[in-house]
């Protein structure tokens, strides 16, 4: 870390243009690499939630499915906040 980077962190000023470029690139490359359209991603989110909802009661407003990329690999990351576990009738 350099002194100017430290000053930037201390002042809480994290929104430098290079930082914006980095995060925008990560987002767009995850989509480029996987070749998944936003529509397909949303369809997938709904279907996954349907399956998971059989077992758990989910908070639908807070759920999100996103692509994350690190090195040259891409991961599908689901964030599904749980309200409560359903009592399953066996």
Partner 1 sequence: MAQMPSSDLTAHIEALKTHDCRSIVLCSGKGGVGKTTLTANLGIALAKLGHKTCVVDADYGLRNLDLLLGLESRIVFTAQEVISGSCRLGQALVKHKHETNLMLMPAGNPRMLDWFNPEHMRNLVTMLADSFDFILIDAPAGVEDGFKNAVAGANEAILVVNPEISSVRDADRVAGLLSSQGTFDLIQLVVNRVRPRMVEKLDMLSIEDVLDILAVPLLGVVQEDEQVIVSANLGEPLALGKSKSPAGIAYGNIARRIQGEEVPIPDINAKPEGFMNRLGDFLSTKII
In the numeric block, which tokens belong to residue 88?
């399953």
Query: Are the C-beta atoms of 17 and 38 separated by less than 8 Å?
Result: no
* Min separation Cβ 82 and partner 1, Å: 33
Location of structure tokens 């243009």: 17
* Min separation Cβ 89 and partner 1, Å: 48
Any bridge partners for residue 82, and if so which? Answer: 58
Restricting to residues 24-83, which ones interact with partner 1 according to CB under 8 A?
Answer: 24-26, 28-29, 32-33, 71-72
* Contact window for partner 1 (CB under 8 A) among 13-21, 36-44, 50-58, 76-84: 13-21
For partner 1, the closer of residues 4 and 61 by Cβ is 4
Q: Is 17 in the site for partner 1 (CB under 8 A)?
A: yes
Q: How far apart are CA 36 and CA 3, in angstroms?
A: 41
The string over 76-85, giving b where at least 16 C-beta atoms fall within 10 Å of a residue's C-beta and e elsewhere, is eeeebeeeee
For partner 1, the closer of residues 63 and 74 by Cβ is 74
């Amino acid at each position: 870390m350099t002194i100017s980077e430290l000053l930037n962190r201390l002042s809480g000023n994290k929104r430098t243009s290079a930082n914006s470029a980095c995060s925008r690139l990560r987002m767009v490359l995850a989509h480029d690499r996987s070749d998944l359209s936003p529509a397909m991603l949303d369809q997938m989110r709904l279907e996954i939630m349907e399956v998971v909802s059989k077992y758990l009661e989910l908070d639908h407003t807070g759920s999100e499915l996103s692509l994350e990329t690190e090195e040259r690999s891409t991961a599908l990351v689901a964030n599904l906040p749980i309200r409560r576990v359903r009592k399953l009738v066996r």
